[in-house]
């Protein structure tokens, strides 16, 4: 728990504290934030926080990739931020699409566990019927099926809560609105009207509200859009009523008036339109896949991981749920999402077989297992995207398997848990026994093709490591320099723990020492190859001829200066000698702007050595004096 708290604290501090957060929530692997000020977010610094796998902006939403422990980290974030899942997005300056994906993600993500658990249970029930362990007429089956079907049937209640939280309105008034839509008397009349339209029987008498307004009879069981739009309207109605309602009466009369205004709008206008719109979208997607066939599945399968990277895959949730509600199954999102997850797993396990890096092998094993059960971010960010070619292999394997899934018209009959191996029970149906068989074939096809493609394409990491190992013995290192790093500056020594940057102060990057410069010249602290020199010129990474990796980080948060004040011209791949003048920095000018010029000299591969310690812990130091000693 302490590690989660440390990760959460550092992330919140890095993005500007709770004061800079409009809204915070999480999905399966990521912390998601709407920030008031999106400028100057130290993404590179955040990526180095323990427990963080990556960080990025997706549109105007800031995402911090955590992995499987995201829920634990978010608990700590929520304690720091407070009411973080109730951010008001109405005043956001995000673009339309960014805001739309943000809203969809925040509304549907919280209900995923309930959908997954009951969907998985529904699959096991179907399996029990197929194997003759029970019958659909037994009381045990009926009771457990009620549990398995409850979340989908009463979906408006769940969506009412998550929508209310997103739009900062009363959850309980929203639930009252959902209860009115799902009230048994109204639902029975709506179902009778629907049955009459199908069979040609006698339709029930028309309903009217207040004796004047005709009330369409529409069943809202399992519906998605009507309750979401109704809660949004409720928010504005409540706020409007509060403006003129006397404070002494608002507790009792504001909820009553708001419901009396919103309810007719919801039942007469929003509900029917939302229902028909949802059916239209569902029919449109089904038509697209019917016309496009396997090609449509191939395209979505090959691009689905790109949607995951940007967080846009949640935009497909309404389509999926609408299909379940209307047809009793879903044959687009769940099958293709499942096979693309297995594709990432297959590529990750191919990396296990080919890599010679023990650390990469361990990451690939754990993330490959996670991907097979539906958590792909660790595999993508830790393995396939990092090595590039395995990611391309997974796109190809997932695309082919997606086309196969569409060709076989695979159907998920429930949420089925996280898309992947745990989705298998969702594809079991007592009247469509081959459906699950072909789904397993699709999963195997995706995994195997991605595995083979990765083995064939290979990846550069292995070659680069071999070259590095071959070159090392050819370098003759001066014995005087072998275990020593020399000062790149004239200045005053400072221990890392006193540096005003927690990443360096806690030695998260590695051990070393800091210097407060007194002169502008910067010299090479070691002989070796320049491996890192960003456009901002604030950091220099050198791979020493003796194998030591040294980072000279000039100033704190100086990346934001964009190179201003830095007169350094280095070329990545070039070789420098210890004591060589690398350039100058206008430290006086930086100080005048309020910039902290403390410069860190860090051994970034500290774990390769028994000990890395300062040659001296205080006082003045001059260039080419011994600064750090390595054992």
Residue 411 to residue 442: CA distance in whole angstroms: 12
Q: For the chain, what is the radius of gyration of the CA atoms?
A: 30
User: Which residues, other chains included, contact 412 with Cβ-Cβ below 8 Å and sequence gap of 6+?
Assistant: 119, 329, 330, 331, 334, 335, 423, 426, 427
Non-local (6+) Cβ contacts of 133 within 8 A are none
Which residues does the annotation mark as catalytic? 27
Q: Where are the alpha helices (DSSP H) in 373-459?
A: 377-379, 385-387, 389-407, 433-457
Write the DSSP assignment of 582-595 as a string of letters.
EEEE-HHHHHHTT-
Token digits of residue 502:
């927690």
Residue 164 has phi, psi (to 5 degrees) of -60, -40
What is the C-alpha to C-alpha distance for residues 412 and 442, in angstroms, rounded to an integer? 13
CA atoms within 13 A on the CB side of 550: 35
Residue 479's contacts (CB-CB under 8 Å, 6 or more residues apart) are: none
DSSP state of 384: I
Which structure tokens are listed for 193? 């009207």
Please, which residues have CB within 8 angstroms of residue 76's CB and are 6 or more apart in sequence? Answer: 1, 4, 5, 7, 8, 9
Surface-to-core class of residue 256, CB atoms within 10 Å of its CB (0-12 exposed, 13-18 middle, 19+ buried): exposed
The gap from C-alpha 577 to its chain's centroid, in whole angstroms, comes to 43
Cα–Cα distance, 275 to 279 (Å, whole number) = 6
Distance of CA 233 to the CA centre of its chain: 29
Separation of alpha carbons 427 and 346, rounded Å: 21
Q: If we measure between CA atoms, which residue out of 430, 423, 335, 428 comes closest to residue 115?
A: 423
The DSSP 8-state label assigned to residue 270 in this structure reads I
What phi, psi does 168 have (nearest 5°)? 55, 60
Q: Give me the residues paired with residue 61 across strands.
A: 34, 58
Alpha helices of 37-92 — where are they, by DSSP H? 43-47, 70-81
List helix spans (H) across 131-208. Answer: 139-153, 155-167, 171-181, 184-199
Which letter does DSSP use for residue 574 in this model?
-
What is the C-alpha separation between 240 and 242, in angstroms, rounded? 5
């Amino acid at each position: 728990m302490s590690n989660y708290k440390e990760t959460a604290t550092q992330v919140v501090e890095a993005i500007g504290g709770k004061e800079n957060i409009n809204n915070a929530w999480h999905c399966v692997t990521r912390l998601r934030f709407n920030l008031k000020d999106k400028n100057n977010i130290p993404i590179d610094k955040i990526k180095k926080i323990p427990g963080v796998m990556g960080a990025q902006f997706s549109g105007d939403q800031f995402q911090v990739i955590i992995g499987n422990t995201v829920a634990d980290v978010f608990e700590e974030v929520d304690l720091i931020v407070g009411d973080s899942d109730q951010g008001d997005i109405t005043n956001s300056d995000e673009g339309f699409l960014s805001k739309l994906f943000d809203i969809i993600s925040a509304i549907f993500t919280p209900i995923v566990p309930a959908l997954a658990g009951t969907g998985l249970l529904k699959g096991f029930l179907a399996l029990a019927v197929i194997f003759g362990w029970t019958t659909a007429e037994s009381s045990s089956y009926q009771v457990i099926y009620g549990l398995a079907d409850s979340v989908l049937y009463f979906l408006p209640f769940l969506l009412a809560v998550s929508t209310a939280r997103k739009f900062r309105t009363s959850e309980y008034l929203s639930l009252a609105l959902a209860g009115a839509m799902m009230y048994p008397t109204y639902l029975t009349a709506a179902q009778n009207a629907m049955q009459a339209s199908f069979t040609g029987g006698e339709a029930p008498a028309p309903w009217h509200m207040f004796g004047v307004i005709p009330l369409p009879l529409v069943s809202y069981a399992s519906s998605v859009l009507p309750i979401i739009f109704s809660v949004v309207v409720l928010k504005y109605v409540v706020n409007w009523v509060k403006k003129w309602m006397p404070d002494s009466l608002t507790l009792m009369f504001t909820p009553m008036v708001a419901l009396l205004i919103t309810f007719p709008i919801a039942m007469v206008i929003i509900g029917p339109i939302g229902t028909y719109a949802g059916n239209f979208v569902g029919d449109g997607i089904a038509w697209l896949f019917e016309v496009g066939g396997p090609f449509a599945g191939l395209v979505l399968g090959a691009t689905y991981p790109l949607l995951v990277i940007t967080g846009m895959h949640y935009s497909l949730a309404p389509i999926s749920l609408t299909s379940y509600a209307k047809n009793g199954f879903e044959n687009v999102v769940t099958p293709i999402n499942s096979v693309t997850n297995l594709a990432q797993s297959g590529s990750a396990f191919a990396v296990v077989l080919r890599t010679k890096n023990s650390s990469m092998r361990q990451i690939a094993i754990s993330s490959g297992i996670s991907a097979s059960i539906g958590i792909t971010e660790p595999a993508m960010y830790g393995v396939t995207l990092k090595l590039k070619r395995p990611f391309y292999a997974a796109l190809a394997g997932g695309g082919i398997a997606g086309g196969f899934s569409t060709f076989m018209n695979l159907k998920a009959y429930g949420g089925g848990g996280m898309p992947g191996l745990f989705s298998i029970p969702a594809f079991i149906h007592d009247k469509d026994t081959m459906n699950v068989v072909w789904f397993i074939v699709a999963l195997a096809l995706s995994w195997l093709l991605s595995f083979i493609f990765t083995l064939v394409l290979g990846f550069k990491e292995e070659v680069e490591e071999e070259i590095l190992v071959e070159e090392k013995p050819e370098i003759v290192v001066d014995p005087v320099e072998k275990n020593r790093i020399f000062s790149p500056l004239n200045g005053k020594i400072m221990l890392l723990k006193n540096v005003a940057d927690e990443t360096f102060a806690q030695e998260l990057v590695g051990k070393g020492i800091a210097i407060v410069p007194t002169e502008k010249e910067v010299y090479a602290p070691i002989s070796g190859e320049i491996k890192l020199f960003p456009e901002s010129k604030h950091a220099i990474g050198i791979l020493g001829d003796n194998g030591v990796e040294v980072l000279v980080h000039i100033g704190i948060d100086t990346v934001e200066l964009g190179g201003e004040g830095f007169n350094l011209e280095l070329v990545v791949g070039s070789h420098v000698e210890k004591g060589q003048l690398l350039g100058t920095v206008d430290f006086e000018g930086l100080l005048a702007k309020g910039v902290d010029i403390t410069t860190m000299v860090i051994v970034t591969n500290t774990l390769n050595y028994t000990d890395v310690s300062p040659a001296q812990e205080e006082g003045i130091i001059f260039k080419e004096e011994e600064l750090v000693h390595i054992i």
